[in-house]
Structure 1
Amino acid sequence: MSGKNFIKIILPLGMALSLSLPSFEAAQAVPVAASLAYSQRLQQLPEMQRSAVLRGALNDSGYFCRRVASASPNKEGYDNLAMWSVRCQNDKTDFQDFAVFLGPDGSAQIRQCKDTQSLNLPACHLSDTLEKDKTQKSKH
């Protein structure tokens, strides 16, 4: 097949296929079962171990997290990723909020919660977590 014939056949075929593919714009979806399974295993860990896993993911991604103050799984994920909302405390008054997206293989992608809306990602759900923190602190 000559180069011209190849282009005449393959180019229209590629264009037709691309039109039939689903759009990947802001694909908020329920994560795949493997991501959910990993997230559920993380949720079942004792709090100290769960915090260490999330803190490690944040620090490995280039963010600084001295201590995970609170963390909770989100009901919705993004594409095939499960999502956790995490609040880090770096000193008495310095808190940072992160969206941690977990892949089916245990990999993590991190975004700051303040950026999720502009990136068309699901919102962090830290208000529930903050209420739990306040309740626990008032008991001590």
Structure 2
Amino acid sequence: MRLPTIFGLSLLAAACDQGEQATPKQPEIAVRSAEQNALHQLSDQNRDIALKRAILASGLRCKRVVRSGYVTEYKKLSMWSADCDDKRSWGIFVGADGSAQVRPCTDMARFQLPACTIAADPSGRAARGITKQG
């Protein structure tokens, strides 16, 4: 009676090992809304103006954006970074409804958010795995 139990447990253990190996990790596909996509289509100057408005609307200060760009997609939000002329840097998270949440870049590590590192293509137009929402 013990032999079938031990044999059954070894088969079960073997099946568990095979199940983990057989499941490949699927690439994550992000979907952007029309509002999020519009920010990706702006010229550098107009993007700077739009991000400055988001910063000011959050009750924060920024006289002029001197550098901005796309960072990454994070939990259904498009993340952007903006450096202001007063040496402050902001992470701007844009939602599908066009809303924006602004955080100081100095807080990103503390809250385990992505660093405010602008992507190779600051417009974010060449970001991989991004599709339009229909």
Q: TM-score, normalised by structure 1?
A: 0.59
Residue 78 (1) aligns with residue 86 (2): no
**Letter paired with 1:85:** S
Residues 63, 128 of structure 1: alpha-carbon distance in 2 compared, 3 angstrom cutoff: farther
Quick check: 1:115 aligned with 2:107? Answer: yes
Q: Distance in 2 between matches of 1:50 and 1:31?
A: 24
2:20 alignment counterpart = none
When the two structures are aligned, how many residues end up with a matched partner? 94
Q: Determine which structure has the larger helix proportion and give its number.
A: 1
1:57 matched to 2:51? The reply is: no
Q: Which residue of 2 aligns with 1:14?
A: none
Bigger CA radius of gyration = 2
Q: CA deviation at 1:48?
A: 2.2
Please, what is the CA RMSD of the aligned residues? 2.3
Q: How does 1:15-94 map to 2 (within 5 A)?
A: 32-35=30-33, 37-75=34-72, 77-89=73-85, 94=86
The aligned residue for residue 127 of structure 2 is none
Question: 1:120 & 1:105 partners in 2: Cα distance?
Answer: 24
TM-score relative to the length of structure 2: 0.61
List gaps (5 residues or longer) in structure 2: 1-27, 122-134
- Superposed CA deviations along residues 43-102 of structure 1, whole A, max 9, x for unmatched, are 221222211111000000011111111111013x3211110011011xxxx311110000
On the 8 A contact 1:84/1:101 being kept in 2, the answer is yes
Please state whether the residue corresponding to 1:58 is helix, strand or coil: helix
Flag structure 1 segments of 5+ consecutive residues without an equivalent.
Answer: 1-29, 130-140
Tell which has more relative contact order, 1 or 2 (C-alpha 8 A, sep 6+): 2
